[in-house]
A and B are shown apart, each in its own frame.
Chain A
Amino acid sequence: MNPMLKGGCFDATRYSRRHLLRVGGLGMLGLNLPGLLRAEAMKKPSGPKPRAKSVIFLYQFGGPSQLDTFDMKPDAPEAVRSPHKAIASKADGIQVSERLPAMARVMDKVTLVRSVHHTMLNHNSASYYALTGKAPPLDDIRLRDTADLMPAYGSVVDALSPVAESELPTFVSYPHIIRDGSVTPGQHASFLGKLHDPLLITRDPNAVDFSLPELSLPAGLSYERLSARRELQKVIDAQTRLMDHAAAARGLDSYYEKAMAMLHSTRLREAFNLSAEPDAIRERYGRHTYGQGCLLARRLVEAGIKFVTVYFSETIGGQSTENGGWDTHGFNNTRMYPIIEKRHLPITDQTLPTLLNDLDERGLLQETLVLWMGEFGRTPKINGNISRDHWPYCYTVLMAGGGVKRGYVHGASDRNGAYPAEAPVRPDDLAATVYQLLGIDPRAEILNAQNRPMFIAEGAPIAGVMA
């Protein structure tokens, strides 16, 4: 080991470690973290009393059909109602699809919001709305993932109410970056700065050798030595002063600070160690990417991570039983029902009840809000392909734990599940609800790309769902 890294010798030199550190701080280096400054500039009002410590957001890309999951309309005309029967569940008066029998047994733990509505018909626009709670400026396939768009929920949480431990990320998302043609907006920190981006894992948690070697130091490299290296890096960075004038350089540096803290953490490393789970539990969640992703979500919230987003699929899918999301139009001579019967419904019925029970048994459901939703529902009328198209005008969102009621239905759709019949809820209201439950004032302000203050949620918390 370099003696300079040991106390005595080091101090004897003209260029002390502290000096190196100071150099690193010159010329606004290391201080000019746009995200930090932005966050400091924002008001942090003392929020409401937190009901949830963490959120697990299970994002169902493509848009699941409300009429074939949690808003069955057995009495609707044949052209509308699901070919699957509605069955009673453990919660009085709440019916679900017969293809979700395990789900039926845990409906007493969840709240359904059956009157969520908006008007965005494109996957990317609607998903952005779902992932941020902010209506997109346009409902158009060309909505681009630009820095003037609203950050993801988890990024807002990281900016306003980050985890206390610097070694932990506030926001983790995996196992994909979702895209429909282009990258779907709403998955990262956007104008809040890259510092608030999620820790994004694109490795498959179902892979036999799933691990995050990046989170551990290479053999033979101590944390102290790595810190010394970081000081050397700062000396070199100070020369070109790239960080003074190039946003690209500043963004990169803010990552280094966070990465260094995370590398120092055994707690974080252990949270990602799925092999520590007994085989029986891993089987129960299902040996597929999404199932193991849900299990990983439980481990992460157990470790103290605040916001975990699990994407069901990378693409909108809907045409395959092997991969992809819920976008079952019946295109290219496929048919919706054989596909969801074989893929989407079984996976959902395996993972969601398992996760809810597991959290509940560990006493974590109380403090963990589970949010299961897609970007929209599907057309009440079954189309010419015996499938369903996009329908944002009314669909169902499932919430559980974290301060919401158990065995409850909020709002209702009309007789065909086409429009809200009572208590309509917008994604803006869902956003306000999530923030409220986390103890963040939905009227808190962040500064947008133009440095103008904006509310983190435009809607109002849904009082009806709060336990």
Chain B
Amino acid sequence: MPLTELTTCSEPSTTIRCRVRTGLGWCGWLAWVLGNCVLLGSPSLRAPADAAPTVSFRNDVMAVLSKGGCASGPCHGNRQGKGGFRISLRGEDPSEDYQTLIQDLAGRRLDRQSPEDSLLLLKPTGLVPHEGRVRFEPNSLEYGILERWIREGARSDVATAPRLTALAVEPREPVLHAPVESFQLRVLAQFEDGTSQDVTRLAVYEPVAPIVDVTVGGRATFRQEGETTILVRYLDRQEAVRAAHVPSRDRVWSWQLPTPANAVDALIYEKLKRLRLEPSARCSDEEFLRRVFLDLCGILPTANEARGFVADSTPDKRTRVVEALLDRPEFAEYWALKWADLFRLEERALDKKGVQLFHEWLVQQVVDNTPLDVFARSVLTARGSTYAVPAANWFRSHRTAVERSEAVAQVFLGARLQCAQCHNHPYERWTQNDYHDWTAAFAKVDYKVIENLRRDDNDKHEFVGEQLIHVVSKAEHKHPRSGKVCSPRLLGQGEALNDSMGDPLLPLADWLVRPENPLFARAQANRIWYHLMGRGLVDPIDDFRSTNPASHPELLETLAQELIAARFDIRHLIRRITASRSYQASSVPRAGQPEDPLNYSHAIVRRLTAEQILDSASQAAGVPLDFVGRPVGTRSAQLPSAESERRRGRKDRGNSGADLDIFLKAFGKPPRQLTTECERNGEPAMNQVFQLISGPTLQEFVSIEDNRLKTLLASGKPLENLLDELYWSVLTRPPSEFERQTLLTYLQVATDGSARRAAMEDILWGLLNSKEFVLRR
């Protein structure tokens, strides 16, 4: 592409940069884009007479190095460089790159006398062999910029060139309806001196999923239907475009959107309408009850509860059952379990007593409905004995400043900082300095081991005994690169944290939960949404960043604001979400529509968690769990520690002690070594199926003499009633007519008592192994 493509201005030969004074204004630019009056190369932009006539190193050459892919991780942006040429990753450091270009190889890289002989031009055009192959042609815009820069003396304007202040990309959320499958991206760069420039041709386009191709000129064409994010980068800025390509679905307007139950639905439906997806019907009472019991309390409704609910004809019964569940102890235990995962409650680091105390404290916080801000603050400011101040155990399970600073960012702010420990993440918000200054705030809290009765002297991670969490004002954290002591700072904030008490975590905790800090409320709202809806609006839920945008940004913001307005009351948000039609939608997609994992047009079918399956199966079969050191009937969701305790070897059962532990592990109970929900794995796997088919735990539920079947058979009721009762207990519904007929026949052919019991066992096995039992729908 000739050099003049970008700049067909009146003085094309002298102008590379074609800036528009903001006199045209932002709205003017939008109008210009929308009016589609400018296509690439069309001569409607005019450089003002005083525009700099030279190529800018900082703003033009650096852009070319990114556009050509030269500064990417696999090429010269690699830490080791490539072929002896190393530049900063994605152009993060222009001044260093300038030095690299002009100094290395005795100037062979740049030949000012004869620019076309510069390696900088010979290599990417493939005129001399280049492992990275041809990056651009000699008649391209890229070539023109580099050639001209060299010819003009290869000067650096790193210090003086106007800095990029914003990148505006249009369209932001295109939805393409087949047969339309491509669209043009437009990128406008704004600089600090008030000028702006169309950089569509030099921006870099990177689709997150390989379902769309983008040309160098920013034309995006879908290869198939789907939805993805396209990252648009220019210099040190990046924006994300969420693009969808959907079938024409012509019949679409034969249906009407249901009336939104609340703001949640309004925003969900807005997107469904654009995608031409029809939301599924409202789920049945049976489905709703089972769903809400599992989501809120991790257990099943009993047969009586379920029949009562279905028979109830009052219109607000769904709201009332949610209200009742929010008050149950199982709710507190089930939601405390989520915190116990995140806070890494396990006995090796915290010891048995510490885990017990910390866990009781967590449950009590949910029982008391402690607002999330108060909750987070009390964890970060807990000081004193780990036996006297339960929340202080958090500092014991996160022993280093690095672990703590990363965990707080991840759990409370939804930000994964790990990359920034070692390097700046170009285009991501947090720099390496941000990371280490933030971490420094956590370095002043130390733990004093009062005693350690560890059983294994070689295990340096085992602590048994009391510890004292206290402030050590002279403790400090050093930057790994400069070796300089970092001054504690809020994440990404300017001023240092100066606290007369010498404990920077006190002001940090205040800042963390302030309503003005948008990250906290968003991350918490997203987590609650995830636990109820099966997918975070930002997914994974602890990975908020510009390059991983929310599927429904406005909804996320609305939920966050609601949470703030409700003073961080999680029950409030749970009420709002469960009241929506979107939460109450059936899991069956509308006829002719595909399974939709992203946009909540139907409920997402997902496997129950380890604790949900074990506790539900135990309840349904009427066989209480028996963990060592716990009262018989303790549910697995009540266990405080990662390692579920071993069950007593009961002679009459003959099972080995580790069975329940293995069961929970197979279904993804996390070891709590990492601070992330991802550690809890919901993937089905072969070993889970073996647990369900022939594992000792399920086998015991089915065959132990003293289970629900015994009660049922002893009741003397007709077989039909027994079957009914069993279905309500296990699946929260009556058998269908077909099931009733088939299974009754199965039971009737068994005439004597033991054969009938065996037939009932087979049916119970079938129910516990059904998809309907194992999956939440």
Residues of A within 8 A of B (CB): 1-4, 9-10, 13-15, 20, 23, 119, 121, 137-142, 148, 181-183, 194, 197, 199-202, 209, 213-218, 220-221, 225-226, 228-229, 232-233, 235-243, 245-249, 251-253, 255-256, 258-260, 263, 322, 393, 450
Scoring A137, A182, A218, A251 by chain B CB atoms within 10 A of each residue's CB, the highest score goes to A218
User: 27 A–B contact pairs at CB < 8 A?
Assistant: A2-B746, A4-B759, A20-B742, A121-B79, A148-B210, A183-B681, A194-B685, A213-B695, A218-B703, A232-B762, A232-B763, A235-B738, A235-B739, A235-B766, A236-B766, A237-B772, A246-B777, A248-B605, A248-B606, A252-B771, A255-B685, A255-B686, A255-B688, A255-B689, A258-B686, A322-B458, A393-B80
Is B750 within 8 A of A4, CB to CB? yes
Of B39-47, B245-253, B488-496, B587-595, the one contacting chain A is B587-595
| Given A218-B694, A252-B774, A2-B749 contact (CB < 8 Å) | yes
| Given A215-B690, A217-B694, A253-B771, A235-B742 contact (CB < 8 Å) | yes
Closest 4 pairs (CB-CB, A-B): A214-B690, A232-B766, A246-B605, A4-B749
Closest to B750 in A: A2
Q: How far is the CA of A223 from the CA of B297 in the complex (A)?
A: 37
In which size bucket is the chain B interface? 35 or more
Closest to B543 in A: A142
Chain B residues contacting A183 (CB-CB under 8 Å) are: 681
> A228, A393, A450: which contacts B762 (Cβ < 8 A)?
A228
Residues of B within 8 A of A (CB): 73-74, 78-80, 209-211, 223-224, 418-419, 458, 587-589, 595, 605-607, 656, 665, 674, 678, 681, 684-691, 693-696, 699, 703, 731, 736, 738-739, 741-743, 745-746, 749-751, 755, 758-759, 762-763, 765-767, 769-772, 774-775, 777
Chain B residues contacting A119 (CB-CB under 8 Å) are: 74, 78
Pair count A-B, CB < 8 A? 179
Scoring A137, A139, A236, A393 by chain B CB atoms within 10 A of each residue's CB, the highest score goes to A236
In whole Å, how far is A171's beta carbon from the nearest beta carbon of chain B? 11
Chain A residues contacting B605 (CB-CB under 8 Å) are: 242, 245-246, 248-249
Chain A residues contacting B765 (CB-CB under 8 Å) are: 229, 232-233
Is B689 within 8 A of A252, CB to CB? yes
Closest to B211 in A: A450
Is A246 within 8 A of B689, CB to CB? no
Closest to A119 in B: B74
> A3, A201, A202: which contacts B755 (Cβ < 8 A)?
A3
Is B210 within 8 A of A450, CB to CB? yes
Q: How far is the CA of A2 from the CA of B766 in the complex (A)?
A: 15
Is A240 within 8 A of B689, CB to CB? no
Chain B residues contacting A232 (CB-CB under 8 Å) are: 743, 746, 762-763, 765-766
In whole Å, how far is A149's beta carbon from the nearest beta carbon of chain B? 11
Q: How far is the CA of A218 from the CA of B731 in the complex (A)?
A: 25
In whole Å, how far is B42's beta carbon from the nearest beta carbon of chain A? 35
Is B762 within 8 A of A242, CB to CB? no
Scoring B211, B224, B693, B765 by chain A CB atoms within 10 A of each residue's CB, the highest score goes to B693
Chain B residues contacting A148 (CB-CB under 8 Å) are: 209-210
> B74, B458, B587, B767: which contacts A236 (Cβ < 8 A)?
B767
Q: How far is the CA of A181 from the CA of B676 in the complex (A)?
A: 10
Chain A residues contacting B770 (CB-CB under 8 Å) are: 233, 236-237
Is A182 within 8 A of B750, CB to CB? no
Is B699 within 8 A of A218, CB to CB? yes
> B210, B681, B689: which contacts A256 (Cβ < 8 A)?
B689
Is A2 within 8 A of B694, CB to CB? no
Chain A residues contacting B686 (CB-CB under 8 Å) are: 197, 199-200, 255, 258-259
Chain A residues contacting B774 (CB-CB under 8 Å) are: 252
Chain A residues contacting B588 (CB-CB under 8 Å) are: 241, 245
Q: How far is the CA of A258 from the CA of B674 in the complex (A)?
A: 33
> A2, A226, A258: which contacts B758 (Cβ < 8 A)?
A2
| Given A197-B685, A214-B695, A228-B762, A247-B595 contact (CB < 8 Å) | yes
Q: How far is the CA of A252 from the CA of B674 in the complex (A)?
A: 27
Chain A residues contacting B224 (CB-CB under 8 Å) are: 450
Is B771 within 8 A of A2, CB to CB? no
Q: How far is the CA of A9 from the CA of B750 in the complex (A)?
A: 10
Chain A residues contacting B458 (CB-CB under 8 Å) are: 322
In whole Å, how far is A265's beta carbon from the nearest beta carbon of chain B? 13
Chain A residues contacting B210 (CB-CB under 8 Å) are: 137, 148, 450
Closest to A239 in B: B736
Is B223 within 8 A of A450, CB to CB? yes
Is B694 within 8 A of A226, CB to CB? yes
Chain A residues contacting B223 (CB-CB under 8 Å) are: 450
Q: How far is the CA of A14 from the CA of B763 in the complex (A)?
A: 18
Is A236 within 8 A of B772, CB to CB? yes
Q: How far is the CA of A140 from the CA of B750 in the complex (A)?
A: 61
Closest to B700 in A: A218
Is A242 within 8 A of B769, CB to CB? no
Chain A residues contacting B688 (CB-CB under 8 Å) are: 255
Chain B residues contacting A248 (CB-CB under 8 Å) are: 605-607, 684, 775
Is B656 within 8 A of A138, CB to CB? no
Q: How far is the CA of A140 from the CA of B769 in the complex (A)?
A: 40
Chain A residues contacting B693 (CB-CB under 8 Å) are: 214, 226, 256, 259-260, 263
Chain A residues contacting B678 (CB-CB under 8 Å) are: 182
Contacts A23-B742, A216-B694 supplied; 12 other A-B pairs, CB < 8 Å = A4-B749, A9-B749, A14-B745, A119-B78, A121-B80, A148-B209, A181-B418, A200-B686, A202-B665, A235-B743, A240-B777, A251-B684
Chain A residues contacting B419 (CB-CB under 8 Å) are: 141-142
Chain B residues contacting A200 (CB-CB under 8 Å) are: 685-687
Chain B residues contacting A23 (CB-CB under 8 Å) are: 742
Chain B residues contacting A229 (CB-CB under 8 Å) are: 762, 765-766, 769
Q: How far is the CA of A216 from the CA of B79 in the complex (A)?
A: 52
Q: How far is the CA of A252 from the CA of B605 in the complex (A)?
A: 12
Q: How far is the CA of A119 from the CA of B731 in the complex (A)?
A: 53
Is B758 within 8 A of A1, CB to CB? yes
Is B771 within 8 A of A242, CB to CB? yes
Chain A residues contacting B589 (CB-CB under 8 Å) are: 245
Q: How far is the CA of A443 from the CA of B750 in the complex (A)?
A: 57
In whole Å, how far is B684's beta carbon from the nearest beta carbon of chain A? 5
Chain A residues contacting B745 (CB-CB under 8 Å) are: 4, 13-15
Is A15 within 8 A of B741, CB to CB? yes
Is A2 within 8 A of B684, CB to CB? no
Q: How far is the CA of A137 from the CA of B605 in the complex (A)?
A: 29
Chain A residues contacting B743 (CB-CB under 8 Å) are: 232, 235
Q: How far is the CA of A141 from the CA of B425 in the complex (A)?
A: 12
Chain B residues contacting A245 (CB-CB under 8 Å) are: 587-589, 595, 605
